[in-house]
Structure 1
Amino acid sequence: MRRLQPPGWPAPRGYANGIEASGRLVFVAGQIGWDETGAFVSDELAPQLEQALRNVVAVLAEADAGPEHVVRLTWFVTSRDEYLSSLRQVGEAYRAVMGRHFPAMSVVEVSALVESRAKIEIEATAVV
């Protein structure tokens, strides 16, 4: 994998502008902050984010992949304001699961998710 950083652009923090990769593609459906029993771990954003990422990693493991193979993440959050006000906790939760691997990423605010208690849903693409 190679991070793509156009000359003169400011360095992104917590994500990459782009990733170049070749290999076997793995697509992970949207994961939310509930555990393997379908119980939400919390009603707060950061713990839900951490659990959603743990769920992504669990699906990746089924393809003999890990966080280091992720080339793209898309996060759907129900509150931009809550996301921005909890960036420190979000960063800690992210690093607890993904380490210091920062793929191409988008964060999108949505009006709601299908599961009413969900505050975040995360899709992933990996290349192994």
Structure 2
Amino acid sequence: MQVETNMDSCLTKKTDHKILLPDGWPAPRGYSHAIAASGRLLVLGGQIGITPQGDMRDGFVAQCEQALQNICCLLETAGAMPEHLVRMTWFVTDIAVYNASLRPLGAVYRQTMGRHYPVMSLVQVGRLVEPGAVVEIEATAVIP
């Protein structure tokens, strides 16, 4: 088993987390297959595109940006940073919209989270609990 060592990644500079990549597997883009970590577990409930003032952002990318900002705020409150994330699960109401938004979504992700890509899953759902929400992101972090 190989341990990926991307020195450009803030992950290798600020945590002891190890991104794992089995021999012969292609390197994933925008996510990781597995991360080994030890420390204090932080589990974040699903975050949607609602601002701290209670306003739902308009549009898929804007809601994703707000959900990611909400995750960063919760991380900061716990004394953590985005590079402490080990897992994210994205629930979207329309995968076609997600796929059509990859370029702007990638830019928003990197601007908000940096170039740290935890283990991720993406699931299409019929609808989310909050009316008007089109994305919800759950996250798990391990704080060394």
TM-score range, shorter chain: over 0.9
Residues 17-50 of structure 1 deviation map (CA, whole Å, 9 limit, x = unaligned) = 01000000001100000100110121x1111101
Structure 2 unaligned segments of length 5 or more: list them: 1-16
Alpha-carbon distance between aligned partners in 1 of 2:116 and 2:95, rounded to the nearest angstrom: 23
1:37 aligns with 2:53: yes
Query: Could you tell me which residue of structure 2 aligns to residue 16 of structure 1?
Result: 32
Q: Deviations over 1:39-66 (max 9, x none)?
A: 0121x11111010000011111111001
The share of aligned pairs that are identical, in percent, is: 53
Q: What TM-score results when the alignment is normalised by the length of structure 2?
A: 0.86
Q: Which residue of 1 aligns with 2:61?
A: 46
**Cα root mean square deviation, aligned:** 0.7
State the partner residue of 1:102.
117
CA deviation digits over 1:77-114, x for unaligned, max 9?
A: 00000000110011011111101000000011001000
For structure 1, which runs of at least 5 residues remain unmatched after alignment? none
Q: Which has the higher contact order (CA 8 A, sep 6+)?
A: 1
Q: How many residues align?
A: 127
Does 1:70 pair with 2:70? no
TM-score after normalising by structure 1: 0.97
- Determine which structure has more spread, i.e. the larger CA radius of gyration: 2
